[in-house]
Amino acid sequence: MRLTVIGTGYLGATHAACMAELGHEVVGLDTDAGRLAALRAGRAPFHEPRLAELIARHTASGRLRFTASYEEAGAFGQVHFVCVGTPQRRDAEGADLAYVESAFEAIARHARKGALLVGKSTVPVGTAARLADAHRVEIAWNPEFLREGFAVADTLAPDRLVLGVRTARAERLLRRVYGTVLAAGTPLVVTDFATAELVKTAANSFLATKISFINAMAEVCEASGGDVRRLAEALGYDERIGRAFLRAGVGFGGGCLPKDIRAFAHRAAELGVDLGFLREVDAINMRRRDRVIALAREACGGSVLGARVAVLGAAFKPDSDDIRDSPALNVAARLDLDGADVTVYDPEAMDNARKAFPLLGYALSAEEALRGAELVLHLTEWPQFRELDPWRAAALVRRPRIVDGRGALDARRWRAAGWWFRALGSPAQP
């Protein structure tokens, strides 16, 4: 089929490349000239496993092209996927729908007769119906559940597909788009607009709640001498609870969970439903960043002023260069403001971090960041940090003190190598 993908960020670039991989002819559209230039040259504009390879292959074959022209996209596409951003509004907790509205408006104006416009962006419930009423084109909503770091795999083989449609024709078209994925046995939920929109915000709210639940348990462990890692292990054996997302740490960040739970609570309140618990989920999450800073102060004898602090990690999660609302950079920047001499290292997110926080120090490797450090903070769970050798690391630093903000390091080994070791929710002493 001939598809367009409007907005080629983390979601749209992945969707465009994967739709080409599935055999469709795809035109990606963006208004950002830098992003377009990279994509047209066959390069991925950000780090995501396997994405660069797919973009290079399909731009070379001509099956995947990029444009800034809505006229061209409109003339080309049978189905248009709208993947533009829905960030938090600057003046409120709700979502900023300006990009979605302008993208729908522009593509609706240029779309061919019979074309289907499919929203993939995460939006407040009610958006699809409003857009469908505002434009004389057919609309469907197909929320996206991909995880950064696994975006290509999640798009080619998703857990489920959710289609919010008003007509059998829209459903038929989308079943054709996803024919290969459905043939592989992917569960499909076909529903109305409101339910489709809600699946996405409900899923993100559930995940955020699970993370904040275990982080609240970490707070209780800190107050009572319990160990949240053993607690989580024991909870996880209960099939009704499950092990996933039960790792206590510095909490969630990124371009989705924080803004999505805020937007959801905000939208629910507009509808007269109180989802105040999501505000608590948000507050618990932000308190974990404060806790890392408190531990950093404790490690440095009450103040970080003048202390050389190595921050391992800048991306909000491993296997990504996305630094949006990154807990690691939030902590790094606040320690810098407190007078610490902060050096950050991340395997992929250095360029983005430098642009957003130009005044922080940066190292070219974990070893360089560790050299001379008086305190090490482990804040993004990259495998190479987990695999650091505590004995070799001890030889590099000035003072062997580490806070494991991801609950991923082996406390016994680090302590055996002579480190003052603290993890969130675990006792100071073994």
Residues classed as catalytic: 256
Binding to ligand NAD (CB under 6 A) within 201-260 occurs at 255-256
- 191: β partners: 164
- 95: β partners: 88
When the beta carbons of 122 and 215 are compared against ligand NAD, the nearer one is: 122
- In 3D space, the residue among 211, 278, 216, 206 whose CA is nearest the CA of residue 247 turns out to be 211
Q: Please give the helix or strand (H or E) that residue 163 lies within, else none.
A: strand 161-164
- Among 9, 400, 405, 407, interactor with ligand NAD by CB under 6 A: 9
- Among 21, 30, 138, 404, interactor with ligand NAD by CB under 6 A: 30
Using CB under 6 A, which of the segments 79-87, 188-196, 336-344, 351-359 binds ligand NAD?
79-87
Binding to ligand NAD (CB under 6 A) within 107-166 occurs at 121-122, 144, 146, 148
Take residue 372 and report the two structure tokens written for it: 């001379």
- Among 18, 29, 369, 373, interactor with ligand NAD by CB under 6 A: 29
Residue 31, interface with ligand NAD (CB under 6 A)?
yes
Residue 10, interface with ligand NAD (CB under 6 A)?
yes
Residue 6, interface with ligand NAD (CB under 6 A)?
yes
Angle subtended at Cα 255 by Cα 240 and Cα 362, rounded to the nearest 5 degrees: 115
SS3 content of the chain, % helix, strand, coil (to 5): 45, 15, 40
**Edge-to-edge strand ranges of the sheet holding 188-191:** 64-67, 25-29, 2-6, 79-82, 116-119, 138-141, 161-164, 188-191
Least separation, in Å, of the C-beta of 157 and ligand NAD?
Answer: 16
When the beta carbons of 149 and 372 are compared against ligand NAD, the nearer one is: 149
Binding to ligand NAD (CB under 6 A) within 89-108 occurs at 99, 102-103
Size, binding site for ligand NAD by CB under 6 A:
26
3-state secondary structure of 147: coil
Binding to ligand NAD (CB under 6 A) within 326-365 occurs at none
Residue 84, interface with ligand NAD (CB under 6 A)?
yes
Burial 389-402 (b: 16+ CB within 10 A, else e): ebeebbebbebbbb
Binding site for ligand NAD (CB under 6 A): 6-12, 29-32, 35, 83-86, 99, 102-103, 121-122, 144, 146, 148, 255-256
